[in-house]
Amino acid sequence: MVDLIMKDILGTPAILVGLFALIGLLVQKKNSGDVVSGTLKTVMGFVILGAGANVLVQSLGNFSSMFDEAFAVEGVIPNNEAIVALAQESFGTETAMIMLFGMVVNIILARLSPFKYIFLTGHHTMFMACLISVILTTGGFSGAGMILLGSVILGAIMVLFPAMLQPYTRKVTGSDDFAVGHFGSVGYLVAASIGRVVGKNSRSTEEIKVPKSLSFLRDTSVSVSLTMVILFFVVAGAAGPGFVESELSGGQNFLVFSFMQGLTFAAGVYIILAGVRMLLGEIVPAFKGIADKIVPNAKPALDCPAIFPFAGNAVIIGFLFSFAAGLISMLFLPLLGLKVIVPGLVPHFFTGAAAGVFGNATGGRKGAIFGSMANGVMISFLPALLLPVLGSLGFQGTTFGDGDFGVVGIVLRNLINLVESNVIVVGIILALLALPFALSIKKHGRDKQKDTSAA
């Protein structure tokens, strides 16, 4: 029964999001037809999103194989799913318990504090729970105390990170209906901040004027297709027809295979966007029940593709320039004595695209370019700095890919290493987490006092 609840239900992101939609609809006392329809469509939207991601991963896997063969690069490819799978053998129970109680802490903090965000990206919740359990356990923590501390850390950052991004998320979406709940938040924040600095008078990526003969490029699906087909042709040519046809395509001509893989990538993006639209169309109204009854004024914090439809051109620009920055970073990592981090297409696509959208919102085209490049540098250096911590545990082949994992893991591990007493470590961690809540509550109180005085 515990495995059923922890792994099969709460460990399945689509079901987890569907449960929140179900609770919201029930709290609103919707009729049975609306409850069934809203819940199933929410789950279906997440399943469609996941299906699109799987299509992308398959296409990008082939691209990575060609890239490795073409440029003979040996290094570590960050992959969240891979390292979590490795860690589950030794830290599975701790991960599951921290994930469950972390979600409870998230709801409690959203109820009691001015930060009204419920983190609904289930797979990232699990990834962060895994990272926290690994760091705390190897740092000498154990038992119920470790689970409690890990849950507080997880629940707090599930509230704080979406809150940190929300001013920029509102700028992207033009509304306050939802937040971004994805552990690449540090990269998005940096991208938005850089956009503000470099993007004065820079026009939006969505205002790029295209000649009539090239007007078809305004269609996101077409522009993505062409971009990826060209990239596949270049990398396949560098890898060599023999490698592609013998190792990847099953004998199919390497140009035909590359063409179809570029289109497969574009199809994956299209599927993701369709899933996002369905998910947002159902979960935002359903979430009103939680907002009104359980956590007043709560907002769902959703996966980063939720903002992709708001700036389609920035998505492509962000991915390309984040990946380019990752390639450049490969040259500098060995000079600093760090392991080479081979740019992973999946983290660079999702976090780079989101960084491009945030950078564009504050700084137009320049913001999208330089903001996504900053993200690309961060998700190259942060995994390299995190790797020694995880390498000592036997995870030398991979590491976590997105920025927040690196920040949380490095800070937490160094804090444990610097302070000998675990009791003092707990006190410092709780104080650091409590500070933003205390400041926000104090500011919230002042704002309410001003409103009362004005009335």
pLDDT tens per residue, range 11-63: 666 787 788 788 888 888 888 898 898 889 888 887 887 788 778 778 878 88
Name the stretches of the chain with pLDDT < 70: 1-8, 10-13, 73-75, 82, 85, 88-89, 210-220, 287-288, 291, 391-397, 444-455
Four-point Cα dihedral 169, 83, 273, 271, nearest 10:
180
DSSP line for 221-287: HHHHHHHHHHHHHHHHHHH-HHHIIIIISTTS-HHHHHHHHHHHHHHHHHHHHHHHHHHHHHHHHHH
Residue 155 contacts residue 321 (beta carbons within 8 Å)? no
Residue 299 contacts residue 118 (beta carbons within 8 Å)? yes
Q: How many CA atoms lie within 13 A of 271 on its CB side?
A: 19
Residue 368 has a pLDDT of 94
Residue 158 has a pLDDT of 94
Residue 448 has a pLDDT of 57
Residue 288 contacts residue 25 (beta carbons within 8 Å)? no
What pTM does this model have? 0.78
Residue 157 has a pLDDT of 95
Residue 429 has a pLDDT of 87
Residue 179 has a pLDDT of 93
Residue 161 has a pLDDT of 95
